[in-house]
Amino acid sequence: MGSPLRVLHVVVNMNRGGAETLLMNIYQNIDREKIQFDFLTCKEGVFDKEIEALGGEVHRIPYLTEAGHSGYLQALDHFFAEHKTYQIVHAHMDKMSGLVMRSAKKSGIPVRIAHSHNTRSEGHFLIKLYKWYAGLLIQPNATQQYACSRAAAEWMFRSKSQHTFIVNNGINIEQFTYSEQKRRLMRERFDIADDTLVLGHVGRFHPQKNHTFLIELFHQVSKEITNTLLILVGNGPYRTKMETKVKDLKLERKVKFLGVRDDIPDLLQMFDLFVFPSFFEGLPVTLIEAQTAGLPCIISDSITDEVDMDLGLVHRLPLVDQAAWTRKIIDITNQPASRVLAKQGVLIEDFDIQKIALTLQQHYLTTKGGVL
């Protein structure tokens, strides 16, 4: 048997973000005798060693913030000129993927995939303007368009969005399926009483995730339900600011900051509600995980309704009405439902990572010689 087809994925780093976690889920489930993943990154990531253990290579070039515009373009051009053997380049940098697509095209790489994982650019005005410029390079240089949702496709590809290949944010269903035994064990580990209401959130500390709203919401909820706890999983530049806010509101005993974790499936078991007030998202994999665990999810109405797996668990509310969020949390608490899902088959059909990995594998093998 010949060597596997090597696909180069381009990301800033391979840390535990939504897109990066999805990539690792796919990588773990793809047939690595047929397909191997390599990664072009700019910073070290927590998944780097696992990638290498699975047979992948991690390449690194300086990022735009370190090298500047010209330096970053030169680094991209130099890398692709030195690695012309790649037949497929798959970029996950939203509109910044345009710069990657242009360099890959210059080096003659036949399949160039731009993948949208979001519905809005991050950063202040000048950063968004630069990303808009980079996004203009996608259409003339990419051969294929991927997205995590229709909303993400429409944002990045505009009038061409109908030609987008949608890749669901798949997960390992069995890992996240609710277990009463795991719930008890996790609550014992964190010394949480069975009758304590636990609100949970998984996401990096970044303005996009809207932790300020979440903490203020919890402050109101804790006045109504005294035996309650908020657990925040993740890390990021705004964590210190949020820790200060918690202290200012005198909530230190009611809010736990757990940092980056590798036991998300188990943590979800001990939550009672999942709260997700992001300003914007593509299709957050953490909401798929939460629903698979049978958790009621209260989310902002700015998140695409494509994330709703039709299990009766998602409640979309406007961010302008914090009181409505408080009422919804109280209503759900007063009417607890079974965490055992009645529509497990729907989950397996649409979001099972093994099926998604096989579909993507077939797509790579079909398109390795050029445009589909």
In tens, the pLDDT along 303-343 reads 999 999 988 999 999 999 999 999 999 999 998 888 887 66
Phi, psi of 180 (to 5 degrees): -65, -35
If asked whether residues 327 and 181 sit together in one domain, one would say: yes
In tens, the pLDDT along 260-273 reads 998 999 999 999 99
Give the span between the Cα atoms of 167 and 149, in whole angstroms.
7
Share of the chain above pLDDT 90, in %: 85
Question: What's the pTM?
Answer: 0.86
Share of the chain above pLDDT 70, in %: 97
If asked whether residues 119 and 263 sit together in one domain, one would say: no
If asked whether residues 188 and 158 sit together in one domain, one would say: no
Does the residue 48 lie in any domain? yes
Listed residue (13, 34, 95) closest to 24, CA to CA? 13
If asked whether residues 193 and 312 sit together in one domain, one would say: yes
pLDDT at 370: 47
Boundaries of domain holding 277: 173-350
In tens, the pLDDT along 132-166 reads 999 999 999 999 999 999 999 999 999 999 999 99
DSSP of 116-177, one letter per residue?
A: E--SS--S-HHHHHHHHHHHTTHHHH-SEEEESSHHHHHHHHGGGGGGPEE----B-HHHHS
Q: Which residue has the higher pLDDT, 2 or 255?
A: 255
DSSP of 18-59, one letter per residue?
A: HHHHHHHHHHHHS-TTTEEEEEEESS--TTHHHHHHTT--EE
Range in 52-56, 95-99, 305-309 the model is least confident about: 305-309
3-state percent breakdown (helix, strand, coil) of the chain, nearest 5: 45, 15, 35
In tens, the pLDDT along 281-298 reads 989 999 999 999 999 999
Cβ(42)–Cβ(60) below 8 Å: yes
Instruction: Show the tokens assigned to 357.
Output: 């990995």
In tens, the pLDDT along 175-212 reads 999 999 999 999 999 999 999 999 999 999 999 999 99
Residue 258, pLDDT above cutoff 70: yes
Q: How many CB atoms lie within 10 A of CB 316?
A: 15
If asked whether residues 285 and 345 sit together in one domain, one would say: yes
If asked whether residues 269 and 237 sit together in one domain, one would say: yes
If asked whether residues 74 and 157 sit together in one domain, one would say: yes
pLDDT at 336: 82
Cβ(235)–Cβ(259) below 8 Å: yes
If asked whether residues 271 and 339 sit together in one domain, one would say: yes
For residue 363, the SS3 value is: helix
pLDDT at 349: 72
CATH of the domain at 28: 3.40.50.2000
Q: Which residue has the higher pLDDT, 35 or 121?
A: 35
Does the residue 211 lie in any domain? yes
Cβ(101)–Cβ(91) below 8 Å: yes
Residue 103, pLDDT above cutoff 80: yes
Does the residue 372 lie in any domain? no
Q: Sign of torsion, CA 233 353 93 38?
A: positive
Q: Report the domain count for the chain.
A: 2
Find the mean pLDDT for residues 239-250: 98
Listed residue (39, 35, 37, 34) closest to 14, CA to CA? 39
If asked whether residues 178 and 126 sit together in one domain, one would say: no
pLDDT averaged over every residue in the chain: 93
